[in-house]
């Protein structure tokens, strides 16, 4: 593995041919042609500029809990944010979090400060940045309910400040889905509901326990593969009705506990998972007339 120093401060190290499967919850996918973990916003600009100058396609990766990376890996440059942009600070009645902050850490921080409303994030294994992009949520709540504003870095090297209304947050959607090269760098959340830290922690523990009864124990998944269609049965029920529980393609297996989860039971490949997803979509459409929409992001396809 070779490295190249791209900034004077010696922070923007790029590793080449870096395996990506270990950086995803599914543990699937090839290598990144180049991978860098920006130290701060200045580093983000430097890396974006470098990608632009060299004509490298640019990809973002948080904690890899909502992506399926192709078996051939990713060309260009991948910015890995799971350990970057980790600032988490109270500013009066708000909490500011860097894009790389894990959502459970955000929930814990709010609890520690004595503010409720973030408990639903305790069991979502992603980052703030990717969470905003898809308006992560659970238990009838979503980031839209606590978000005050976000800062986004664009490939034109602009820093945009956007409100939730400007972001168009909805069920697993936002304007950012139309701008896949915009990087959320920071988000600010309202601390609006004071409560006792112990009561907040008890609620978080209860939600996590509930999750365990409903979701598979195998951590090698991406959570829900498909979005729940509006106004109908949830995706898991549709997939179960179509007879897919336990269905296997290679080592990609539809969970028997929750049919909207596809598990990596060993050495599943992206090709297996994609074929299984296509099979599920076709059969649910044929048998129940519902077009299932993917929640999980396919890289590089969805950015091409």
Ligand X SMILES: Cc1cc2nc3c(=O)[nH]c(=O)nc-3n(C[C@H](O)[C@H](O)[C@H](O)COP(=O)(O)OP(=O)(O)OC[C@H]3O[C@@H](n4cnc5c(N)ncnc54)[C@H](O)[C@@H]3O)c2cc1C
Residues that bind ligand X (CB under 6 A): 25, 60-67, 81, 99, 124-127, 129-131, 133-134, 136-138, 176, 183-184, 221-223, 297
Q: Coil, helix or strand for 147? A: strand
**Rg value, the chain, Cα:** 19
In the complex, least distance from residue 200 CB atom to ligand X, rounded to whole angstroms: 18
In the complex, least distance from residue 78 CB atom to ligand X, rounded to whole angstroms: 9
In the complex, least distance from residue 72 CB atom to ligand X, rounded to whole angstroms: 17
Query: Which distant-in-sequence residues (6+ apart) come within 8 Å of 192 by Cβ?
Result: 93, 115, 117, 146
Q: Which of residues 221 and 281 has its CB atom nearest to ligand X in the complex? A: 221
Are the CB atoms for 225 and 295 separated by under 8 Å? yes
Q: Which of residues 49 and 212 has its CB atom nearest to ligand X in the complex? A: 212
**Hey, which residues are catalytic here?**
172, 224, 295
Are the CB atoms for 172 and 227 separated by under 8 Å? yes
In the complex, least distance from residue 81 CB atom to ligand X, rounded to whole angstroms: 5
Q: Which of residues 25 and 269 has its CB atom nearest to ligand X in the complex? A: 25
Quote the strand ranges of 141-201, DSSP E.
141-142, 147-153, 159-162, 183-190, 193-194
Q: Which of residues 268 and 283 has its CB atom nearest to ligand X in the complex? A: 268
| DSSP per position, 110-129 | HHHHTEES-GGGGG--SBHH
């Amino acid at each position: 593995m070779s490295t190249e120093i791209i900034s004077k401060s010696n922070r923007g190290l790029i590793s080449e041919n870096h395996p990506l499967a270990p950086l995803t919850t599914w543990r699937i996918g090839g290598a990144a042609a180049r991978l860098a973990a920006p130290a701060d916003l200045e580093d983000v600009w430097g890396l974006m500029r470098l990608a632009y100058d060299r004509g490298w396609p640019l990809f973002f990766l948080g904690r890899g809990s909502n992506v399926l990376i192709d078996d051939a890996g990713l060309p260009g440059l991948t910015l890995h944010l799971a350990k970057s942009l980790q600032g988490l600070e109270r500013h009066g009645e708000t909490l500011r979090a860097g894009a790389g902050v894990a959502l459970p850490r955000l929930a814990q921080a709010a609890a520690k400060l004595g503010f409720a409303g973030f408990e639903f994030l305790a069991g979502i294994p992603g980052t703030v940045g990717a969470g905003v992009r898809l308006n992560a949520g659970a238990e009838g709540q979503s980031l839209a309910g606590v978000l005050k504003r976000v800062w986004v870095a664009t490939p034109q090297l602009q820093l945009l400040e956007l409100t939730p209304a400007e972001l168009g947050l909805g069920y697993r959607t936002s304007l950012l889905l139309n701008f896949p090269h915009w990087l959320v760098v920071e988000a600010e959340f309202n601390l609006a509901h004071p409560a006792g830290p112990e009561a907040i922690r008890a609620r978080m523990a209860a939600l996590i326990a509930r999750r365990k009864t409903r979701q598979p124990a195998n951590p090698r998944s991406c959570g829900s593969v498909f979005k729940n269609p509006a106004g109908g049965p949830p995706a898991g029920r549709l997939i179960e009705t179509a007879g897919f529980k336990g269905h296997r393609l290679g080592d990609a297996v539809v969970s028997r506990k929750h049919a909207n989860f596809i598990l990596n039971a060993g050495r599943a490949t992206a090709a297996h998972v994609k074929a299984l997803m296509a099979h599920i979509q076709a059969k649910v459409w044929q048998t129940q007339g519902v077009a299932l929409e993917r929640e999980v992001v396919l890289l590089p396809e969805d950015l091409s």
